[in-house]
Every structure is written in C-alpha cells, then in structure tokens.
C-alpha cells in the first residue's frame, strides 16, 4: 500500500509550566474567597463549620459573621498564558494549623499575604514565616466594606516590611482584582530571583 509523504510539519504540544503560589494570611481575611474568585476550575475547599468550641480558640472579633473555616487548604488553578499555569494553595489561617504550611510551601514560587486593616496583626505569622524562609511574597490589603482605609505606605510601615515588598489593595471577591494581585506577585518573584542570583 502506498502512503503519501506529507511535508506538513506537526507542531509538538508543549505543556505549560506549572507554578505553585500560596495564598496566606490571618483567620477570616479572604483567602478562600480569593482562590475561588480567580480559579478557572471549581476550587477545592476544606471548610468546616465553626463551633462554639472553635470560637473559644479562634479570635472572631471583627469577623463575627464568619461561619466556616479552612482546616487543610483551598486549591484552585488559573492559566496566565499558554505556557504558564498557576496552582493556588490557600493556607489555613489559624496558628494551630501552621504544621500544614511546611508541606504546602514546598516548591512554591512565592506567596500572597492577605491583610485586613481591622486585624492587621493577624498577618504577622505569615510574614514571619516567608521572611524566615526567604520566600518572595507581597501583601494584598483586602478592602472590606466599612473598614477604614489606610495609605499603602502606612500599611508597609505598620507591618515593618522591607521597602522592596510590594503592598497592593484588592477586593478578593473580584476576579480581575485577584488576577492583578497574582501578576504583581509574579513580577516581584522574578525580580527577587534576579537579585538573589546577583548576590549569590
């Protein structure tokens, strides 16, 4: 049987680069909301109802309307371009779940630390964690309705951040706002790796 020779070039399918990003911050700051708003797939959530016992352990002041909490992680995915996909891992916010962070942070490109100006001190454990490990991170101030607004340099000063750490405003409910936060992180992480390479 004769086969016609084809001169047509068959393009190879190249799998996109998968990058892991953490979404961290205090209890009730909007991590689950951010992952859910930007994920192009149905996000995986590990939320459980808050109980009276949990309320006695977790400080719910300022987030009294919160009825659930993440007990392991949130997971979502967003395609940034044909050759780059971000896998988003939302960390649990309570300090008693910090042991989970070591597993989640393995291989992460960087992190977004969500902040709530009503409970700004709640993001210190996340900031300390990433600073100690040299993980590039940015701070995204989630603008809750009715919360007092502060200038970004005031937030940076209050959190005692290195001047190179970007601080941005966001609305975790809005997909476009969340995407802009992630783009800021990618740009910061790229600059961080270049600075590290020069120092090294």
Domain 17-199 in this protein, CATH class = alpha beta
> Does pLDDT of 86 surpass 90?
yes
Give the helix/strand (H/E) hosting 108: strand 108-115
Closest C-alpha to 73, from 132, 133, 119, 24: 24
Q: How confident is the model at residue 50 (pLDDT cuts 50, 70, 90)?
A: very low
Q: For 4-45, what is each residue's pLDDT tens digit?
A: 554 555 556 677 889 999 999 988 899 999 999 999 987 765
Q: For 52-64, what is each residue's pLDDT tens digit?
A: 545 545 555 555 5
Q: What is the CA radius of gyration of the chain?
A: 20
Domain regions of the chain by residue span: 17-199
CA distance 76 to 71: 16
Contact 112, 142 (CB under 8 A): no
- DSSP states of 132-154: HHT--EEEEEE--TTPPP--HHH
Paired residues of 141 in beta bridges: 115, 169
Alpha-carbon distance values, 138 to 11, 40, 128, 156, 159 (Å): 38, 22, 13, 11, 12
> Does pLDDT of 71 surpass 70?
no
CA distance 102 to 161: 22
Q: For 112-159, what is each residue's pLDDT tens digit?
A: 999 999 999 999 999 999 999 999 999 999 998 888 889 999 999 999
């Amino acid at each position: 049987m004769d086969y016609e020779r084809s001169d047509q070039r068959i393009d190879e399918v190249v799998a996109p680069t998968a990058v892991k990003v953490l979404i961290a911050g205090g209890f009730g700051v909007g991590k689950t909301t951010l992952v859910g708003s930007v994920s192009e797939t149905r996000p995986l959530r590990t939320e459980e109802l808050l109980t009276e016992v949990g309320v006695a352990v977790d400080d719910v002041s300022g987030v009294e309307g919160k009825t659930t909490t993440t007990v392991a992680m949130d997971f979502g995915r967003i395609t940034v371009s044909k050759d780059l996909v971000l896998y988003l891992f939302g960390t649990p916010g309570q300090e008693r779940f910090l042991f989970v962070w070591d597993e989640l942070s393995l291989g992460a490109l960087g992190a977004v630390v969500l902040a709530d100006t009503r409970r700004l001190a709640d993001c210190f454990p996340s900031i300390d964690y990433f600073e100690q490990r040299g993980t590039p991170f940015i701070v995204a101030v989630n603008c809750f309705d009715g919360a007092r607004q502060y200038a970004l340099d005031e937030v940076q000063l209050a959190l005692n951040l290195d001047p190179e750490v970007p601080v941005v405003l966001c609305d975790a409910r809005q997909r476009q706002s969340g995407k802009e936060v992630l783009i800021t992180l990618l740009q910061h992480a790229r600059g961080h790796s270049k600075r590290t390479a020069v120092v090294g």
